[in-house]
C-alpha cells in the first residue's frame, strides 16, 4: 500500500464511521424521551442542585461518576423519601457513621433533588443494575424463614439495617438488638419511631398489628 493510499484510508474511513455514528446519534436522540418520564420543572431544578453540590464527585448515577459512594439512579426505589430527605440535609444526624459531609442542603433543595432522583429511577436502563444472582438463587433455594423474618424481608428492612453482616448501613446494626430493647419499646417504635427517638429518620412500619408483633418477636431473638 502506498503512503497516499494509507492516508486516504485513514481520512475517508474515519469520516465513513463518523457519519454512521452521527446517524445513530440522531436515531438515539429521537428515542430517549420515550424511555424516560417527562422532565418537570422540579426535576430540572433538582438536576441543577445535583450539579451545584458536585454529587458526581463522590457518587455514580447510571453507573458513571466517582466510585467513593453508592450508585444513586434508583435510590428512591430502595429508601423512603422522608429518610432520604433527612439524610441529605444532615447525614451524620441520621447515621453517626456517615461519610457524606453536611453541605448545607436546604429542605427545598432536598425535595428538588429527590424529584430528580425519582425521575432517574424510572429511566429504562436496559435492566441495569441487574438483580444480584446469588441472592436470587439463595431465595429460590429457600431456607425456612420464621414468620418475623418474612415480614422483615417483605418490608425491605435490610436496605437500612445489618443483621449478622448482611444489609445496609443507614440505620443501626440489629444483630444484637434483642438484648437492648424490650417488646413494648420495639412495637411502639415501629408504629412511630419519632415518639421514641427524637427526629428519627426511620420510616414508620405500615403493617397490620399481627405483622408488627411477629417483627418484634423476631427482633427479640437477636441477642
Binding site for ligand HEC (CB under 6 A): 53-55, 57-59, 68-70, 72, 75, 79-80, 83-84, 87-88, 91, 94, 98-101, 105, 113, 152, 155-157, 159-161, 170-172, 174, 177, 180, 186, 193, 197, 200-203, 205, 215, 219
CA 135 – CA 183 distance, rounded (Å): 30
Which residues, 6+ apart, have CB-to-CB distance to 78 below 8 Å? 156, 159
- Taking the least distance from each CB to ligand HEM, the nearer of 37 and 65 is 65
The item of another protein, ligand HEM, ligand HEC, none sharing an interface with residue 120, based on CB under 5 to 8 Å by kind, is another protein
Question: Count of CB atoms within 10 A of residue 185's CB?
Answer: 13
140 makes contact with another protein (CB under 8 A): no
Least gap, CB of 162 to ligand HEC (angstroms): 11
70 makes contact with ligand HEM (CB under 6 A): no
CA 92 – CA 195 distance, rounded (Å): 20
- Taking the least distance from each CB to ligand HEM, the nearer of 62 and 196 is 62
CA 99 – CA 121 distance, rounded (Å): 23
CA 175 – CA 193 distance, rounded (Å): 19
Amino acid at each position: 500500500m502506498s503512503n497516499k493510499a494509507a492516508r486516504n484510508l485513514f481520512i475517508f474511513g474515519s469520516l465513513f464511521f463518523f457519519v454512521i455514528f452521527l446517524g445513530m446519534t440522531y436515531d438515539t436522540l429521537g428515542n430517549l424521551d420515550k424511555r424516560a418520564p417527562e422532565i418537570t420543572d422540579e426535576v430540572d431544578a433538582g438536576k441543577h442542585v445535583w450539579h451545584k453540590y458536585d454529587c458526581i464527585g463522590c457518587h455514580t448515577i447510571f453507573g458513571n461518576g466517582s466510585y467513593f459512594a453508592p450508585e444513586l439512579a434508583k435510590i428512591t426505589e430502595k429508601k423512603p423519601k422522608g429518610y432520604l430527605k433527612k439524610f441529605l440535609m444532615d447525614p451524620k444526624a441520621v447515621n453517626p457513621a456517615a461519610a457524606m459531609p453536611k453541605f448545607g442542603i436546604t429542605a427545598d433543595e432536598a425535595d428538588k433533588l429527590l424529584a430528580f432522583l425519582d425521575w432517574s429511577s424510572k429511566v429504562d436502563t436496559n435492566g441495569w443494575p441487574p438483580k444480584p444472582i446469588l441472592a436470587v438463587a439463595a431465595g429460590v433455594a429457600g431456607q425456612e424463614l420464621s414468620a418475623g423474618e418474612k415480614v422483615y424481608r417483605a418490608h425491605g428492612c435490610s436496605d437500612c439495617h445489618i443483621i449478622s453482616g448482611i444489609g445496609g448501613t443507614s440505620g443501626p446494626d440489629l444483630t444484637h438488638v434483642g438484648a437492648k430493647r424490650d417488646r413494648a419499646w420495639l412495637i411502639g417504635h415501629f408504629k412511630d419511631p419519632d415518639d421514641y427517638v427524637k427526629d428519627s429518620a426511620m420510616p414508620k412500619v405500615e403493617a397490620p398489628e399481627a405483622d408488627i408483633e411477629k417483627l418484634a418477636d423476631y427482633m427479640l431473638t437477636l441477642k
